[in-house]
């Protein structure tokens, strides 16, 4: 079967690999139908993802159809449409015992540390398969995985109805977070440098927007939060100065959630954290949030349609990555298909 492998940074190849065989651990065989290209996949391709190991079959936004099951499988059946959890954990270490398997001491994320979903078939554990509702297409369903990342960040933030949320960044990650956050609180400020993204954020539920390239960021945050600063800030831009800016813009007793994965040094002011007794929290991947996302879809509270801008067959993955590198403004989410 065919697969997309990043042999080393800047070297993508379409390779032939053996079709997986079921065992006692990976007891469900999924025939892939759609797989989203994420920014972290692009980072692995370019060698900027510090977590990745090479060579690697990438892809962690994985949708497919159950093709075969082991004798002990009871949760799914052949023919079920499923999305696959990208997080694998040991279940016994300290984080796992605290129900935080997404930061397991032995974490292995599919498509990053172990081979992922840019291949025709993948064998996974039954517990990692989530049955999709009929109301969502395979291609739109790849957006469930980014949505789980957003649910995780809002959960880590402890977001509540009376919070004043500052969301820094209106790109793909920020847009996903906004979809979830608007269902949890009404007072949402979105900051970015692109007017078109800010207009989309306003249409999607942001109460206020700030163009940080044209407006005084801190002055506007104070204006929109009655002079006290945000109660919760989430960094969805993850640039060099974003964490420091959010420490400044968050008021006393606030929470600041960082999602950045850069290993480059960044400036942090201890006084801002201590004097305001801020809680600075990381948010990584997701912790069993697929069920919550699917329930939101079933309840009609989450519409993931309209996010896919382009599709490419798996065998044209290089063209897809080259197109992403072109920075074409029409790009939203690109999906690889398996109908070649």
Mean pLDDT score, 59-64 = 98
pLDDT (0 to 100) of residue 94: 98
Note the pLDDT of residue 38: 93
Please state the three-class secondary structure of the chain as a single string: CEEEEEEECCEEEEEECCCCCCCCCCCEEEEEEEEEECHHHHHHHHCCCCCCCCCEECCCEEEEEEEEECCCCCCCCCCCEEEECCEECCCCCHHHHCCCHHHCCCCEEECCCECCCCECEEEECHHHEEECCCCCCHHHHCCHHHHHHHHHHHHHHCCCCCCEEEEECCCHHHHHHHHHHCCCCCEEEEEECCHHHHHHHHHCCCCEEEECCCCCHHHHHHHHCCCCCEEEEEECCCCCCHHHHHHHHEEEEEEEEECCCCCCCCCCCHHHHHHCCCEEEECCCCCCCHHHHHHHHHCCCCCCCCCEEEEEEHHHHHHHHHHHHCCCCCCCEEEEECCC
Per-residue pLDDT, 261: 79
Q: Does residue 100 carry a pLDDT above 90? A: yes
**Taking the model in full, what pTM does it have?**
0.93
Domains within the chain, CATH numbers bracketed: 2-143+304-337 (3.90.180.10), 148-282 (3.40.50.720)
Q: pLDDT by residue (tens digit) across 273-291?
A: 999 999 999 999 999 999 9
pLDDT of residue 106: 97
Q: State pLDDT tens for residues 14-41.
A: 999 999 999 999 999 999 999 999 989 9
pLDDT interval class at 172 (50, 70, 90): confident
pLDDT of residue 148 exceeding 90, the answer is yes
User: With 80 as the cut, is the pLDDT of residue 247 above it?
Assistant: yes
């Amino acid at each position: 079967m065919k697969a997309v492998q990043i042999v080393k940074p800047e070297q993508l190849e379409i390779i032939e690999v053996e079709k997986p065989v079921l065992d006692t651990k990976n007891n469900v065989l999924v025939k892939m139908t759609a797989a989203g290209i994420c920014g972290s996949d692009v980072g692995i391709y370019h060698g900027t993802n510090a977590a990745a190991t090479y060579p690697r079959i990438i892809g962690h936004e994985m949708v497919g159809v159950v093709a075969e099951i082991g004798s002990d499988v009871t949760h799914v059946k052949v023919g079920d449409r499923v999305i696959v959890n990208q997080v694998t954990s040991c279940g016994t270490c300290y984080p796992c015992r605290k129900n935080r398997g997404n930061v397991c001491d032995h974490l292995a994320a599919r498509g990053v540390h172990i081979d992922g979903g840019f291949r025709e078939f993948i064998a996974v554990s039954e517990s990692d398969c989530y049955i999709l509702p009929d109301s969502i297409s395979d291609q739109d369903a790849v957006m469930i995985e980014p949505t789980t990342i957003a649910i995780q960040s809002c959960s880590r933030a402890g977001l509540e109805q009376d919070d004043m949320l500052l969301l820094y960044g209106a790109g793909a990650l920020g847009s996903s977070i906004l979809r979830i956050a608007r269902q949890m609180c009404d007072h949402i400020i979105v900051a970015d440098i692109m007017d078109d993204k800010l207009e989309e954020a306003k249409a999607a539920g942001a109460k206020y927007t700030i163009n940080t390239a044209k407006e005084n960021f801190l002055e506007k945050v104070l204006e929109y939060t009655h002079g006290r600063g945000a109660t919760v800030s989430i960094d969805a831009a993850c640039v060099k100065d974003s964490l420091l800016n959010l420490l400044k813009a968050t008021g006393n007793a606030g929470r600041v959630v960082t999602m950045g994965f850069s290993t480059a040094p960044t400036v942090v002011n201890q006084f801002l954290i201590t004097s305001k007794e801020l809680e600075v929290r990381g948010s990584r991947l997701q912790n069993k949030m697929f069920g919550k996302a699917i329930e939101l879809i079933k309840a009609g509270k989450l519409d993931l349609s309209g996010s896919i801008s382009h599709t490419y067959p798996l065998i044209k993955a290089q063209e897809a990555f080259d197109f992403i590198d072109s920075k074409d403004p029409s790009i939203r989410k690109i999906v690889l298909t398996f109908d070649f």
